[in-house]
């Protein structure tokens, strides 16, 4: 059996107010060709199909046209989609009965019976190989909120949320073990943040305080052949375990991902064994440029922009540009000067990032080694300066820095 693991499409996402429908369509066209070329049996989409809970009509059409085309090209293809934290579970599931008739199963949220118990059967899906025989069982778990998870037994001292998620996977795994025949694999899906998972900076758009929402990899039983995860946008194996993976987003969702190669994961499973995991790089339809590579003074930045040589392209395919300027004092008319330097160049100015020496020495911009060399008082003072710098003029900020951090 061959499967393709994808996640975090974020259809409808904008990059600093620029629409990205062209890039998403290029990805979906490429994905369709890849499914056919690789003769994939099952496509897994591990959450965040859309970028927000109220996607545009154009974004929804992109999804449903793709699903129709995929089944037309590969009549035996199964598609399993679970909701992410950006998706509206109800909206995603609304056409579920119609989609299920054409091989697409959508799990947006958990359902409970009259007794209050979660309908586990609905979350356990049989997966068939090219011969039509059941080759695996999938634990199709969407993004879980605290109210979704089962309650822990009385006296259990675990965190109610994390323990509830672990209990749900345990219950589903037990059901799968009871249901499967010898030689059938068990796969798990999830849209969550695992302990040790590496975020791709600002593109994650969420902060986990103190790790209280991070899940340990131990929630996946040893009988699970592969765990297909979504939520973190950087492809990675969790804790060095090759069978527990994030595939990452298929297109860059912020300038933090300029140098990152986006991918989908192709899995080959033989019986209960994961034979191979192969990354397939997704072609980038629109380049992202950062000029300069590291923040520089305005004169140097303007010189680099003037020398920027970018091939011509249709408007929807022109590169997105982030300009990075280091300022020692306020610079009136900064945007106008940058736009003048870019006049006639086929790029889209998406973001002007400004920084200063004071801000670059803020704790969150330091490496762990640099932080380790600071005393607790220094960290407090730098945080204070960073907060004050948002409103203080440079000359006053400089005096404060010398007062609080003499010689820094």
Q: What is the pLDDT of residue 407?
A: 52
Please give the Cα distance from 290 to 311 (Å, whole number): 16
Delimit the domains of the chain by residue range: 2-281, 288-404
Give the residue among 348, 345, 351, 342 at the shortest CA–CA distance from 324.
351
pLDDT confidence band for 53 (50 / 70 / 90):
very high
pLDDT confidence band for 377 (50 / 70 / 90):
low
Point out the least confidently predicted range of 3-7, 86-90, 94-98, 364-368.
364-368
Give the residue among 66, 123, 130 at the shortest CA–CA distance from 99.
66
DSSP single-letter state for residue 103: T
Complete edge-to-edge strand list for the sheet that includes strand 134-140 = 124-128, 134-140, 185-191, 226-230, 241-246, 236-238
Pairing label, strands 226-230, 185-191 = parallel
Tokens 């490429």 found at? 30
For 41, 247, 291, 350, 397, the CA distances from 353, given in Å and listed in that order, are 45, 29, 10, 10, 20
Structure tokens at 100: 């299920």
Say yes or no to pLDDT of 372 above 90.
no
Say yes or no to pLDDT of 211 above 70.
no
Structure tokens at 89: 């579970």
Q: What are phi and psi of 127, to 5 degrees?
A: -115, 130
Mean pLDDT, residues 42-50: 97
Q: What is the pLDDT of residue 358?
A: 54
User: How does the average pLDDT of the chain come out, rounded?
Assistant: 87
In the Cβ-directed half-sphere of 5, how many Cα atoms lie within 13 Å? Answer: 32
Q: What is the pLDDT of residue 207?
A: 41
Say yes or no to pLDDT of 351 above 70.
yes
Domain 2-281 has CATH 3.30.450.20: no
For 113, 158, 238, the CA distances from 116, given in Å and listed in that order, are 5, 21, 33
Say yes or no to pLDDT of 337 above 70.
yes
Q: What is the pLDDT of residue 331?
A: 83
CB atoms within 10 A of CB 33: 11
Q: What is the pLDDT of residue 205?
A: 47
Q: What is the pLDDT of residue 371?
A: 47
Say yes or no to pLDDT of 223 above 90.
yes
Give the residue among 121, 24, 215 at the shortest CA–CA distance from 107.
121
Question: pLDDT tens-digit profile of 281-290?
Answer: 999 999 999 9
Say yes or no to pLDDT of 311 above 70.
yes
CB atoms within 10 A of CB 390: 8
Please give the Cα distance from 68 to 65 (Å, whole number): 5
Q: What is the pLDDT of residue 398?
A: 57
Mean pLDDT, residues 141-147: 93
3-state secondary structure 166-189: HHHHHHHHHHHHHHCCCCCEEEEE
Tokens 């369509």 found at? 25
Say yes or no to pLDDT of 390 above 90.
no
For residue 164, the SS3 value is helix
Please give the Cα distance from 22 to 378 (Å, whole number): 48
């Amino acid at each position: 059996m061959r499967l393709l693991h994808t996640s975090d499409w974020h259809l409808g996402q904008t990059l600093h107010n620029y629409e990205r429908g062209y890039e998403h369509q290029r990805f979906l066209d490429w994905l369709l060709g890849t499914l056919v070329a690789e003769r994939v049996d099952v496509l897994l989409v591990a959450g965040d199909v859309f970028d927000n809970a109220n996607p545009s009509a154009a974004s929804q059409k992109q999804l449903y046209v793709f699903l129709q085309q995929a089944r037309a090209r590969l009549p035996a293809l199964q598609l399993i989609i679970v909701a992410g934290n950006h998706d509206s579970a109800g909206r995603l599931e609304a056409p579920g009965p119609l989609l299920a008739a054409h091989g697409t199963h959508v799990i947006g949220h958990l359902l409970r019976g009259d007794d209050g118990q979660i309908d586990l059967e609905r979350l356990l899906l049989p997966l068939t190989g090219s011969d039509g025989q059941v080759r695996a069982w999938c634990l199709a778990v969407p993004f879980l909120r605290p109210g979704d998870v089962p309650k822990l037994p009385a006296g259990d001292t675990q965190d109610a949320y994390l323990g509830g998620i672990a209990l749900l996977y345990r219950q589903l795994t037990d059901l799968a073990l009871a249901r499967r025949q010898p030689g059938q694999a068990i796969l798990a899906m999830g849209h969550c943040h695992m302990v040790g998972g590496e975020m791709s900076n600002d593109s994650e758009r969420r902060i986990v305080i103190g790790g209280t929402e991070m899940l340990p990899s131990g929630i996946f039983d040893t009988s699970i052949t592969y765990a297909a995860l979504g939520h973190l946008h950087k492809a990675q194996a969790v804790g060095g375990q090759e069978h527990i993976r994030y595939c990452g987003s298929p297109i860059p969702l912020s300038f933090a991902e300029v140098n990152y190669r986006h991918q989908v994961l192709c899995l080959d499973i033989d019986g209960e064994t994961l034979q191979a995991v192969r990354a397939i790089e997704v072609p980038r339809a629109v380049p992202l440029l950062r000029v300069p590579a590291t923040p520089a003074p305005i004169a140097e930045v303007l010189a680099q922009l003037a020398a920027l040589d970018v091939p011509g392209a249709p408007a929807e395919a022109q590169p997105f540009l982030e300009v990075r300027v280091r300022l020692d004092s306020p610079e009136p008319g900064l945007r106008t000067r940058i736009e003048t330097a870019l006049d006639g160049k086929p790029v889209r100015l998406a973001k002007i990032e400004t920084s200063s020496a004071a801000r670059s020495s803020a704790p969150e911009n330091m490496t762990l080694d640099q932080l380790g060399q600071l005393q607790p008082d220094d960290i407090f003072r730098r945080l204070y300066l960073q907060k004050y710098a948002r409103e203080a003029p440079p000359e006053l900020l400089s005096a404060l820095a010398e007062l609080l951090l003499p010689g820094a």
